[in-house]
Amino acid sequence: MSSLFNLEGKNCLVTGASKGMGKAMALALAEHGANVVISSRKQDQLEETANEINKQVGVQNIVPVAANAGRKEDLNQLVQETNRAIGKIDVLIGNAGVNPHYGPMSDISDEAYDKTMATNVKSNHWLCQMVAPDMISRGGGSIMITSSVGAFEPSLHLGAYAISKLAVIGLVRNLAAEYGPQNIRVNAICPAIIKTDFAKALWDDDTKAKEAISKIPLGRLGEPEDLQGLAVFLASNASSYITGQAMTVCGGGYMWR
């Protein structure tokens, strides 16, 4: 059997992973043999998710560690706890993100703008700084940061969020160039509308959903499970020559980007 997508022996950290896309990606990594620390703000939700995935996979390879992705001290503690729980990190998925403002940029408060940029961009920069030494010591690694197709166009309602996700792609490309010589690959995952609680305002309305679907060749909105294959691919040796890319998961709706 091919070992192309085999993740046995790989140690992974996934933020924003108590539900939605992060949970789905963590499950896929575990199903392919990885040890995975999942993180979000609430320990009780994480423990519920960890128990669910461990039961589904049949082995105890999911470890829950709570952390606030917007706090540097929390992220530092998260990396230390990950090292203690499963070892040095081979794969990082920075999936945690926020969108505290829905509306025009002219109405956004300084606090909401700063929170958006800090959590979606700066915290991932911090996290990459923290995990890169682990990856270098192990001969390489893979970093994925969740961006969005919102990075590719302006928005009248999600402007600051879109700006932050475009900045994520910039961060990814710079880190890909910087860490490439150490065999660390860095890529952005860019989902379109995925049916999660986080994106509920964009799909939990028949009119909005039908309008969005009309522009998607595959004729449906995305599900969290649609991120699983890409996460495993980018974590595995199957993507050993892919770095610095912004990879869309969009049903074809953004095929020209």
Residue type, 37: V
H-helix or E-strand spanning residue 247? strand 246-249
Strands (E), 62-152: 62-64, 91-94, 141-146
Task: Give me the active site residues, please.
Answer: 161
Q: Which residues of 160-175 are buried (b: 16+ CB within 10 A; e: fewer)?
A: bbbbbbbbbbebbbeb
Through-space distance between the first and last CA atoms of the chain, rounded to whole angstroms: 36
For CA atoms 201, 191, 195, 19, the dihedral sign is: negative
For CA atoms 99, 170, 232, 59, the dihedral sign is: negative
Q: How many CB atoms lie within 10 A of CB 154?
A: 10
